[in-house]
Amino acid sequence: MPLIGDKFPEMEVQTTIGVIRLPDHYAGKWFILFSHPADFTPVCTTEFVAFQRRYEEFRGLNCELIGLSMDQVFAHLKWEEWIKEKLGVEIRFPIIADNTGDIAARLGMRHKQAAGTQTVRAVFIVDPKGIIRAMLYYPMELGRNMDEILRMVKALQLADKGYAIPANWPNNEIIGDNVIVPPARSVDMIKKRREQEAAGEIKCFDWWFCYRRPE
């Protein structure tokens, strides 16, 4: 099972848009690979609609979506058709048909809670270099919070600029929508933080807890 910081495993997958290679297909882009237990199930249907309704927001962050379950590709296609006909939502991101379960096993998507022919609700957030930046696992009975996943992509992109992201950002209880400047790790850095604070570049509670507006 891959871990945060690992390169996403190279694999060729059958999807609703044809065969693609991961992570190469999304080179230069962020992507979110998420698994769902099965097509034609109520919670999964609500998740796909929720992801699709935010799809343009994800794409605005240079981030693509790709689903996965242990169903045949024709089941995915029929389910997409049903969602469009019954709910008026067209699913425009691909879904991997992992009918053998090999991909799910390789990525650690089959836990004890899941039946032998199902995957748990796993989420992998992968950056433009193909590095796994975050992983989430939800129980079978709990649908995912898509706004939190969207928030994570935004926060990770800010983190790449050298910031740390506070709890509940952008609605943190202490510093609001500001971001944290990495703590000083030397006497010289402490001096620099104090100079930055005096110049109005950052604000500090102390030299180890400074923050600023994100650039």
Same domain? For 138 and 186 the reply is no
The amino acid at residue 23 is P
Domain match, 169 and 74 both: no
Mean pLDDT over residues 116-124, rounded?
87
The answer to whether residue 133 scores a pLDDT higher than 80 is yes
State whether 132 and 72 are in the same domain: yes
The answer to whether residue 156 sits within a structural domain is no
**Judgement on whether residues 37 and 87 belong to the same structural domain of the protein:** yes
pLDDT at 115: 58
Is the model's pLDDT at 14 over the cut of 90?
Answer: yes
Domain identity same for 69 and 118: yes
Average pLDDT over residues 36-53: 97
40 and 119 in a single domain? The answer is: yes
What is the pLDDT at residue 118?
84
Are 138 and 174 in a shared domain?
Answer: no
Domain count, the chain: 2
Q: How many Å separate Cα 166 from the centre of its chain?
A: 18
Residues forming the active site: 44
Which of 144, 171, 191 is the last residue before a domain boundary? 144
Inform me whether the pLDDT recorded for 158 exceeds 90: yes
Low-confidence winner among 71-75, 154-158, 182-186 (lowest mean pLDDT) = 182-186
Mean pLDDT score, 134-151: 95
* pLDDT average, residue stretch 72-91: 98
Which residue range is the domain that position 196 belongs to?
161-215
Bigger pLDDT: 118 vs 9: 9
99 lies in the same domain as 197: no
DSSP string, the chain: ---TTSBPPPEEEEEBTEEEEETGGGTTSEEEEEE-S-SS-HHHHHHHHHHHHTHHHHHHTTEEEEEEESS-HHHHHHHHHHHHHHH-----S-EEE-TTSHHHHHHT---TTS-TT---EEEEEE-TTSBEEEEEEE-TTS---HHHHHHHHHHHHHHTTT-B--TTTTSBTTTBT-EEEPPP-SHHHHHHHHHHHHTTS-EEEETTEEEE---
Give the pLDDT score at 114.
58
One domain for residues 94 and 192:
no
CATH code of 175's domain = 3.30.1020.10
Report if residue 2 sits inside a domain: no
What is the arithmetic mean of pLDDT over 70-90? Answer: 97
- Assess if residue 183 is contained within a domain: yes
Residue that is last in its domain, among 144, 170, 197: 144
Can you tell me the mean pLDDT for 15-44? 97
Domain boundary among 118, 144, 170: 144
With respect to residue 129, please indicate whether it lies within any of the assigned structural domains.
Answer: yes
Based on the domain organization, do 39 and 117 belong to the same domain? yes
Q: Are residues 180 and 106 in the same domain?
A: no
CATH code for the domain in which residue 39 is found: 3.40.30.10
As a whole number, mean pLDDT of residues 100-105 equals 92
**Is pLDDT of 87 > 80?**
yes
**One domain, residues 131 and 174:** no
**Would you place residue 1 in the very low, low, confident or very high pLDDT band (cuts 50, 70, 90)?**
confident
- The answer to whether residue 172 sits within a structural domain is yes
